[in-house]
Copies of this chain bind each other. A is one copy, B any other.
């Protein structure tokens, strides 16, 4: 199903600023048993993004109702929300206008079950993140860096590519956030200058916080990545995939990764039951 401003349609105006400038934001949400998962976290990030770039007038109840309408009869799938600044303005300058609201559902992507069980092989991308604190963390519509990074490989045996920033810090995957475990300490790259603050990343940090697992947002070098005992990637759709191979280096699926994977699954189940 696809709803544009509440109406079932598959087209938007060419004049929309989302197309012209990537002037908007999006969320990609797992759907299970007709329910968008981790809704509150997705809405929080989306509304914070709207505040940061100055898009007004998005009504959370309207968006939630349309999302539930779109998810009806979906046992397992993906819900994508797109909010743009709509039409209007002259050139780059925005006018006070009406945001465009897109609610669309997609089939569940069929990843191999081994991605969760045995872990995934990932590569290092040559396309890097540009740094800009004004845009960092947000899931905005300017995603050409990730598109170019994802174009770098075709091998279906490679599940994800890791991207550095121009300083050589390891930041994230093309579609996922990255965690390492080194000497029992959970670490994830800080995203103050680039990258997307994933909803699943936030959930995992909250799980660590509540369990008093030592964790930190840090600056991660390629060397630090090599020295990690455990590595995993995560996003709101896949949950958590252990990383078993980065280029030529193998990693074991360690106890912290296993424990967090179990907790993520449990959180997803409990969210489902609680919200139904």
Contact = CB atoms under 8 A, between A and B. Distances in A.
Interface residues of A, number: 55
B135 A21 contact: no
Given A14-B104, A92-B175, A175-B92, A135 B144 contact: yes
Interface string A59-102: 00000000000000000000000101100001111100000001
Contacts of A151: 54, 93-94
Interface string A120-133: 00000001111110
A84 B233 CA distance: 30
Interface in A8-29: 9-23, 26
Contacts of A45: none
B130 A132 contact: yes
A206 interface: no
Contacts of A102: 14
Contacts of A174: 92
A47 interface: no
A130 B23 CA distance: 16
A132 B128 contact: yes
A104 B15 CA distance: 10
Number of copies of this protein chain within its complex: 2
A14 B4 contact: yes
A93 B91 CA distance: 29
Nearest to A237: B91
Nearest to A22: B22
Given A92-B175, A131-B166, A147 B21 contact: yes
A272 interface: no
A30 interface: no
A148 interface: yes
A145 B135 contact: yes
A12 B23 contact: no
Given A109-B90, A147-B92, A150-B91, A141 B12 contact: no
B26 A14 contact: no
A10 B14 contact: yes
A176 to B, nearest CB: 10
A100 to B, nearest CB: 9
17 contacts: A2-B14, A10-B14, A12-B12, A20-B143, A22-B144, A53-B147, A91-B109, A91-B150, A92-B146, A92-B175, A94-B147, A127-B134, A129-B132, A130-B130, A130-B135, A130-B194, A134-B145
Interface of A: 2, 4, 9-23, 26, 53-54, 82, 84-85, 90-94, 102, 104, 109, 127-132, 134-135, 140-151, 166, 174-175, 194
